[in-house]
Structure 1
Amino acid sequence: MHKPEDDAKITKCSADALAGYPQAELTVENHDSHSRSYIVQVEFVDGSGTRSSEGVAMVNNLAAGQKANEKAGGLTKAPDGLKCRITKVSRH
């Protein structure tokens, strides 16, 4: 069985054009044989690794073998040297 962390990947890390807030684009793929729901926690850090904010993405009832694209956004301006990291993936 795959670990929940294996089911979520960041595909893009950027600041949104409107407000300059950090945003992580994610792909979640259900490798299980049953429908699953996911909560993906992401942190946004600056070039030195200091956290500036965090965000969450949720995917509900993802069928076995199916993929979904979601976004997680922060609520502060994106820092210089922005990096996005998944900190936790919960699968239910």
Structure 2
Amino acid sequence: MSGLPFGGATGAEVTMVDLELDAYEQVNLSAGVIWDTWEAVLYANNVTDENAQLSFDRERGGRARLAYRNGQPRTVGITLRKFF
């Protein structure tokens, strides 16, 4: 109950939210090579593209936005390094 009427809502409605988050597992992979003064690393984070809910967020004590903070989606990339 927010006590703030808005957009046809009275503000007296009760919002029920289950705050127990689901378990999740993430898989991160990387492989690289080094030659002379160079290094190249290919990586993939969150390989299974798990949509992990990391935490619950509420603004203004629950009177405004209610949402979950989600983890980063699958990310693939390459890193190049030069050693001096």
Structure with higher RCO (Cα < 8 A, 6+ apart): 1
Which of the two has greater strand per residue?
1
Q: TM-score range by the shorter chain?
A: 0.3 to 0.5
- Alignment TM-score, normalising by the size of structure 1: 0.32
Of structures 1 and 2, the larger Rg is shown by 2
